[in-house]
Amino acid sequence: MPGSNCTQATEISLVGFTKGPATQVALFLLFLLTYLATILGNLGMITLIRASPLLHSPMYYFLGNLAFVNLCTSTIISPRMLAGILLGRKGMSYAGCMAQVFTFGLFVVTECFLLATMAYDRYVAICHPLLYALVMSPERCSRLVTGSYLLGLANGVGQTISMASLSLCTSSTLDLFFCDISLLISLSSSDTTLSLVILRAASSLLGVPSMLVVLVSYVAIISTILSISTAEGKCKAFSTCASHLTTVSSFYGALIFMYLIPRSDSSRGGDKWAAVLYTVVTPMLNPLIYSLRNQEVKEAWRR
């Protein structure tokens, strides 16, 4: 309610998962195992890519950075969520919430552009294989990754400015397990014009272009694969991008459900589990997907 009188919040209440004691214990164990698997899987992938000469190529350079981003995203969210479930602490300091908004905004957009870069890499490899070494040179790969982090940083700074312009009452309660800027805006008692402009600009200038790059790349990839005459050739071409396509589908699917599908407040019950998918589950699954579906990674593990 813009214009209403309230005391500025120094702490944000996060509802988290309000279930019975037995369910809380089960959720804690499940999320703890998921987080440990995320740490081991992504650290293992980063170490393997750095140690194995077989994986010193643009695709695995991007994958190593994706594993790092997944590790950071999960670490931003999971430890605080686990503490909330185990100790029953629902409060988070305003400064801590702002730090979470910044870091999460940084890494989620970085991941969007890394996935877009990986889609472009697969497009060049399948549609223009003779030009691959020239187009995906080490210098260009480095610039693409650096650009992804810089765009993520820009988003993180923008979301922090957005949160700083909000007035939140001490009674503010977030029906989620982490500080999400879109829900914080809906709880603000002040004018939210600047915050909404920043949020919509970030979605339009950062989120939509990265999704379009992925979409256009895969339209071209599928068209090229369908033009291959032999079934063996089609299978080999598709196998080079199947892991990435699986990762993209789970990540963007959850984001679209969470932020782009309009619905009333009474029908937002699935938001919490969609958030679990892209903040907790996807970072754990990514190294597993690439390990199981990629022959080069399997061979590197064997060596």
pLDDT value of residue 2:
45
Note whether residue 151 is domain-resident.
yes
Boundaries of domain holding 167: 12-302
Task: Please give the Cα distance from 234 to 240 (Å, whole number).
Answer: 10
pLDDT value of residue 6:
63
Task: Please give the Cα distance from 7 to 64 (Å, whole number).
Answer: 45
The count of structural domains within the chain is 1
Q: Kindly report the CATH number assigned to the domain that includes residue 281.
A: 1.20.1070.10
Predicted TM-score (pTM) of the model is: 0.89
pLDDT value of residue 228:
81
Q: How many other C-beta atoms can be found within 10 angstroms of the C-beta atom of residue 142?
A: 12
Task: Please give the Cα distance from 29 to 17 (Å, whole number).
Answer: 13
Note whether residue 191 is domain-resident.
yes
Note whether residue 250 is domain-resident.
yes
pLDDT value of residue 1:
42
pLDDT value of residue 215:
92
CB 12 within 8 A of CB 167: no
Widest distance between CA atoms in the chain: 70
Note whether residue 7 is domain-resident.
no
pLDDT value of residue 219:
93
Note whether residue 222 is domain-resident.
yes
- Bridge partners, 169 (sequence order): 8
pLDDT value of residue 3:
46
Instruction: State both tokens at 101.
Output: 């908004």
Note whether residue 6 is domain-resident.
no
Note whether residue 2 is domain-resident.
no
- Point out the residues of the chain with pLDDT beneath 50: 1-3, 266-267
Note whether residue 141 is domain-resident.
yes
